[in-house]
Structure 1
């Protein structure tokens, strides 16, 4: 999960009336429902993402749209609004040093523990967007663990955006998304799918369960997880929400489990339950 850019009209060019109070309402609603903080300067972004919904619904302005999503009749539209306002930009093997650490260190430690604790492996991709992160994780497992079929190995991939969950489940991507990968990865783990598209190989898809999840709401899973990816997600939350979130992650991680966070994120002043190993790689210590 990370910032996506979009062409945003200026106030003079706007087709629909969009007042400061309209923006403040949407900003407060997003914080209440998802924990995500929108800055005070995102008016144009919000307008650009929601104006298409007003057109489709035949509405005259944002006040009418706000009244609609707050009504019983607009319950489904509320989910569409949240999907539009959450941000999704990702790619395969983004911040690749995390996957290198997973292959060379985390999985080796988990394998060593398996002698006494059994061949169980659980990884969570929290804020998985359209699936590139959990599929990169699945490929890393398949390349690093030739005996993966002999393990009880599962990857949980969650996101608040239901459309991203749908895309991840489908596992279909533009062929251009494979550019820059080592040659063996496209050959082994992707298959042609229509014109200029590819689909993840079945063995990778079978490792992952995609689920809708709001990180600031109830978590149905029990853990423990050996590894959690939460990258470029918490930058959208205030410090208090971050403290709660990382405490919950620590509670679900196995002793000594690993946490990967984004390059612009850090845990300083947020939690003392993790030890920094380097390059936004943390180990649970409490």
Structure 2
């Protein structure tokens, strides 16, 4: 049975419902870094599990913890990043309307540094299963390999954000149009992760990853600047605005005699009992 009282609304203004407050910029950044750290720990756990021989494929063939598996996990981590950024429980989906440019840029760079520092422990887990001289084997001791992996993660995360941000802001039609490019990005990140981790660090690969990182950050800056253009903010009404509207509404009812104290004759007045 409903608990709503029967009868006219009690005198006075109606209950006011405020918009959900937007979290602070610092809170968004800290949450992003913490969730990124949790995500890279998850993929590190997958490599650790594969190193024990207990992770198997569908045909029960063991997954080897080598450079190939490390590259796949690295590519999936870069693809996983924008899903950490998005918060669907919020009205703005986690893409705040103020301060989004520094949040996205600083978030990608800091997250890339955190992920790179954690992946420096992967050679200790993989051991001799990684090819000699490859990034998966030399990441914990070769500065060139560290810089290459950092550029790979920053570029992959930035381009993943560039792909997913319009899909979230633009709605269903934009998401449907970008579905095929997004699937292409999934394959590209997986292939790029294999090329980076299962091969020795080279100047050409480093230049390509650095160019991807710079162009990804530039594209992310443009998209963040257009956030309020793609999705125009709706005007928000304050409590004072709603109070003024309510007062005008009640005054108009009094002027026309539509009040509970003095109802008009007819349908608004008392009705005779039915026989």
TM-score higher than 0.5: no
**Richer in helix (by share):** 2
User: What is the TM-score of this pair, normalised by structure 1?
Assistant: 0.26
What TM-score, normalized to structure 2?
Answer: 0.27
Higher relative contact order (CA 8 A, sep 6+): 2
Q: Which has the larger radius of gyration?
A: 2
User: Whose strand fraction is larger, Structure 1's or Structure 2's?
Assistant: 1
